[in-house]
Amino acid sequence: MGGNSFGKSLCITTFGESHGLAVGVVIDGCPAGLELSEADIQPELDRRKPGQSHLTSPRQEADCIQIFSGVFEGKTTGTPIMIMARNQDQRPQDYQDFQNCYRPGHADYSYDAKYGFRDWRGSGRSSARETLARVAAGAVAKKFLRQVAGIEVLSFVEQVCDIRSGLDPMRISRQEIDQSLVRCPDQVASAKMVALIEKVKAEGDSLGGVIRGVVTGLPAGLGEPVFDRLHSDLGRAMLSINAVKGFEIGSGFAGACLRGSEHNDEFYLDSAGVVKTRTNHAGGVLGGISTGEPLLFRVAFKPVATIAKEQRTINAAHESVTLKAAGRHDPCVLPRAVPIVDAMAALVVMDHWIRNLSARVR
């Protein structure tokens, strides 16, 4: 059974390889009547595409998407929405060194072990190029959430290696995020991150980091206990992104060090008569169901596996070899991963928004 679909009421299926003909997605379950065009989607892809700055892979891809189905006269029809981008700047020759060689930290070996062989051109299906399809689908979900449900999704780079931003995630705008080359709205931290990435890139090495996500405007009630909790689906979504090794909701690992009396978020009624909590250690979810407080989560990315430094490994014939990667790679994926985190969060929230329509007899 393949694993290329995500979501239950809103279900996306992605397809395509890094150096194949195209990468795309089919979105099934989007309600009819949502205004939608390529102009709603392309800007998100532009945030993800390579070649944005000197800090990202120089591969030249316009990532120019087209809607092939499911939209008529500017509105979704309730039928599957297929969105696809053709691959353009393919240089499979860059990858011939990896053809019979297992890059440390990469999926070369595990794909071979599972499938018997693999499309080695640009890492094939295991390339982060697949996330283009997620960003396209996520743009549809973001539009829906904003327009129909008043929900906003935002994420930004909070940490690159050990450089951390201390900004309050509730006080950040998309504009501030995109003004930073590394999508860190903290200008001081951003400058340090840029410098570190430049340095490490020059060394042929790579960096990891942490992205913070925030979802606001959520009603209380989203999430389906006991397995499809809002944050367990969100965690799965994030952990399905290339290079992600950790996920936290609310207090996360730090919360493990608090006492109950410190961690519990006290309920109160705000002046508008809305139930609120004074703190948000929960990260917006209790019992797997949204409380109406903002969703707050963090996503840890390991450093990029493909590096230009020499490494020892083995090849498909099980001989010891050394490897020094050519190819066009990001020294740090986090700036380009921000729209991917956005997209996956939006898809999860929209799925649960739809599922919640039938929570009770009305």
* H or E stretch at 25: strand 22-28
Angle between helices 334-355 and 131-144 (to 10 degrees): 50
The interface region with a second copy, picked from 26-34, 52-60, 170-178, 185-193 by CB under 8 A, is 26-34
- Build a one-symbol-per-residue string for 95-134: x at contacts with a second copy by CB under 8 A, - elsewhere: -------xxxxxx-xxx-xxxxxxx-x--xxx---x----
| 301 φ, ψ (degrees, to nearest 5) | -110, 135
Of the ranges 42-50, 143-151, 169-177, 180-188, which one interacts with a second copy (CB under 8 A)? 143-151
**CB closer to a second copy, 51 vs 221:** 221
Contact stretch for a second copy (CB under 8 A) within 50-58, 75-83, 167-175, 186-194? 75-83
Q: Does 44 bind a second copy (CB under 8 A)?
A: no
CB of 123 to a second copy, least distance (A): 8
The nearest distance, CB 300 to a second copy, in angstroms, is 4
Q: Which long-range CB contacts under 8 A does 185-194 form with residues at least 24 apart?
A: 185/156, 189/163, 189/164, 189/165, 190/165, 192/163, 193/157, 193/160, 193/163, 194/55
Identify which of residues 28 and 176 has a Cβ nearer to a second copy in the complex: 28
User: 3-class SS at 50?
Assistant: coil
Is the previous residue joined to 226 through a cis bond, with omega within 30 degrees of 0?
yes
**Candidate residues 81, 140, 153, 189; the one interacting with a second copy per rule CB under 8 A:** 81
Instruction: Give the one residue of 72, 89, 188, 195 binding a second copy; rule: CB under 8 A.
Output: 72
Decide if residue 320 touches a second copy (CB under 8 A). Answer: yes
Q: Which stretch binds a second copy (CB under 8 A): 45-53, 166-174, 180-188, 204-212?
A: 204-212
CB under 8 A, 24+ apart: contacts of 254-259: 255/281
272 binds a second copy (CB under 8 A): no
For residue 359, state whether it binds a second copy (rule: CB under 8 A): yes
Quick one: tokens of 256?
Answer: 């493990």
Residue 298 CB neighbours (<10 A):
23
Where do we find the tokens 């951390």?
164
Backbone angles phi, psi at 202, to 5 degrees: -60, -30
Check residue 361 for interaction with a second copy (CB under 8 A).
yes
Site size for a second copy, by CB under 8 A?
A: 158
Closest to a second copy by CB, 188 vs 267, is: 267
Indicate the length of the chain as a whole number: 362
Task: Among 62, 191, 220, 326, indicate the residue that binds a second copy (CB under 8 A).
Answer: 220
Among 122, 169, 213, 250, binds a second copy (CB under 8 A): 250
How far is CA 278 from each of CA 172, 175, 212, 282, rounded to the nearest angstrom? Answer: 20, 28, 21, 11
Q: Which residue do the tokens 């006080």 mark?
A: 171
Q: Does 303 bind a second copy (CB under 8 A)?
A: yes
Kindly indicate which of the ranges 45-53, 170-178, 179-187, 213-221 contains the residues binding a second copy, using the contact rule CB under 8 A.
213-221
The tokens for 238 are 């994030």
Distance CA 156, CA 145 (A): 19
Nearer to a second copy, 174 or 217 (CB): 217
345 counts as binding a second copy under rule CB under 8 A:
no
Q: Is 178 helix (H, G, I), strand (E, B) or coil?
A: helix
Does 29 bind a second copy (CB under 8 A)? Our answer is: yes
Q: How far is the CB of 115 from a second copy (least distance, A)?
A: 4
Q: Is 326 in the site for a second copy (CB under 8 A)?
A: no
**3-state secondary structure (DSSP) of residue 87:** coil
